Structure 1
Amino acid sequence: MRKKIHPKNYRPVVFKDINNEKILICRSTVETKDSIQINGLDYPLYKMEVSSFSHPFFTGEKRFLGKTGPAERFKKKYEKYNNINKKK
C-alpha cells in the first residue's frame, strides 16, 4: 500500500438526522463545527437533513410535497390559450 495518502483526521463522528433526532456513529473525515456528548464521550457532530432514517425510499411512506411536475405547470400556464381556441 502507498504511504502518506490517507487523511490524518479519520475519527468517529456522530451523524444526526435533524428530522427525527436519530443518530449514527461511524468513522469519517467530515469537517464539523459542533460536538455532542454520548455516554460520557465527546464526538464531533454532523447534522443531516435527510438520511435513511427519514428518506421516504427507506421508510416506505409516501409523501405529497405539493410540487407539480413540468408537464402540469405547462398545462396550467397555457390552459387559458386553449380555452380561447375552443370558443371560436
Structure 2
Amino acid sequence: MKTRIHPELRPVVFRDRAADVAFLTRSTADSARTIEWQDGHTYPLIDVEISSASHPFYTGTSRVLDTEGRVERFERRYGRTSAARA
C-alpha cells in the first residue's frame, strides 16, 4: 500500500434518527459534532436518516402492495384501446 494517499480510518458513531439507535464503527467520514459513547470516550457523530435498524427490508416490516385491480382501474379510467378489443 502506498503511504499518505489513503484517508484516515477512525471510530465514528452513526445515529439512526428514525429508530433512535446508534452504532459505533470505523469510517473515514468526519464530523464536527461529537457524542460521548458508553465507554466514556468521545467520538464524531454522524446522523443518518435510515439504517439497518429502521429499513423495512431488514426489520421485516415491509409492506405488500396491493396490485390486484390495477389493470381494471386503468381500463376504467382510460378505457380499452381498439387493438386490445380485437
Q: TM-score range by the shorter chain?
A: 0.5 to 0.7
TM-score (norm 2): 0.67
Q: Aligned partners of 1:42, 1:63: CA distance in 2, in Å?
A: 38
Query: 1:14: Cα distance to partner?
Result: 0.2
TM-score, length of structure 1 as denominator length:
0.66
Q: After superposition, give the CA deviation of every residue in 1:9-68 in whole Å (9 maximum; x if it has no partner).
A: x2100001001111111111113131111132111000011101110110010247xxxx
- 1:20 maps to a residue whose letter is A
Partner of 2:51: 51
Distance in 2 (alpha carbons) for counterparts of 1:47 and 1:3: 31
Equivalent-residue separation in structure 2 for 1:62 and 1:28 (angstroms): 29
Q: CA separation of 1:81/1:56 partners in 2, compared to 1, >3 Å: closer, same or farther?
A: closer
Q: Measure the CA separation in 2 of the matches of 1:80 and 1:56.
A: 32
CA RMSD between the two structures:
2.8
Deviation at 1:80, TM superposition (A): 5.6
Q: Which residue of 2 aligns with 1:25?
A: 24
Identity in percent: 41
Other structure's SS at 1:6 match = coil
AA matched with 2:12: V
1-structure distance, mates of 2:18, 2:44: 19
Unaligned runs of 5+ in 2: 65-69, 80-86
Structure with the largest fraction of helix = 1
Which residue in the other structure is 2:62 paired with? 62
Structure 1 portions without partners, runs of 5+: 65-71, 83-88
